[in-house]
Amino acid sequence: MLSRRDFYRFGSIALGNVIALAVAIPGVRYLLDPLSKRAQDRESRSLARLSQLVPGKPQAFPIIESRQDAWVKYPREPVGSVWLIREPREGPKVVAFTAECPHLGCAVGLSADGRSFSCPCHTSSFAFDGSPQNKVPPRGMDPLEVELSDEPDPQVRVKFVRYQTQSKERKPLV
Ligand code: FES
């Protein structure tokens, strides 16, 4: 049988634990929030319909995201872009590359003659299969996973991932 003193002692300990949990849970969720946001970033997003893509011609599509820090929610804005290329021969096959240059992260565009990719910052050059064409970039362009939806005119869905620059190895940013 608990004495009144023990009852108050255990009661106040239990109450203290409940209050500590009530404070800790939102704190832990706040700390883990960026991880869940990164997981969301890696979900596939629809960038185009297959019918929009001209076979053999690279086309760039922006990645639009909204940013949020502890205090401010920013409006949705472009945070990068992706090159999509529909294969000219192999039916509805599409390849995707992030436009972020593996050298130092500038946006890779098309060369003046339109026959390769080229980066305006330090002249990195890449073939349309992403392989490097000079020694400036440490590796080829970074390919992204592509899914086509099961529709007559499929959605082209891409998993957008950012990779470390200045590295021979392809390491996703966490
Ligand atoms: S950032 Fe592209 S060549 Fe340097």
Looking up residue 116, the CATH number of its domain turns out to be 2.102.10.10
Q: Is 147 in the same domain as 126? A: yes
Query: Looking at ligand 1, which atom is closest to the CA of residue 108?
Result: 2
| Alpha carbons 33 and 169: distance in angstroms, whole number | 28
Same domain for 60 and 112? yes
pLDDT of residue 1: 63
| CA neighbor of 102 nearest in space, from 85, 116, 121 | 121
Whose CA is closest to atom 3 on ligand 1? 122
pTM: 0.75
Residue nearest to atom 1 of ligand 1 (CA): 104
Residue 171 confidence (pLDDT):
96
Closest CA relative to residue 41, chosen from 61, 59, 67: 67
CA distance 62 to 99: 10
Task: Please indicate, yes or no, whether residues 69 and 112 belong to a single structural domain of this protein.
Answer: yes
Q: Are residues 55 and 31 in the same domain?
A: no
7: confidence class by pLDDT, cuts 50, 70, 90: low
Residue 22 has a pLDDT of 67
Q: Are 149 and 158 in contact (CB under 8 A)?
A: no
23 and 74, same structural domain?
A: no
Return the higher-pLDDT residue of 7 and 13: 13
Instruction: Name the pLDDT band for 13 (thresholds 50, 70, 90).
Output: confident
Name the residue at shortest CA distance from atom 4 of ligand 1.
Answer: 122
Domain of residue 140: give its range: 43-159
Is 145 a domain residue?
A: yes
108-143 tens-digit pLDDT: 999 999 999 999 999 999 999 999 999 999 999 999
Residues 47 and 37 in one domain: no
11 and 56 share a domain?
Answer: no
CA angle 39–104–146, rounded 5-degree value: 40
State whether 60 and 103 are in the same domain: yes
pLDDT digits (tens, 9 = 90+) for 36-82: 445 445 689 999 999 999 999 999 999 998 877 778 888 888 889 99
| SS3 category, 3 | coil
Q: How many domains does the chain have?
A: 2
Judge contact between 147 and 157, C-beta under 8 A: yes
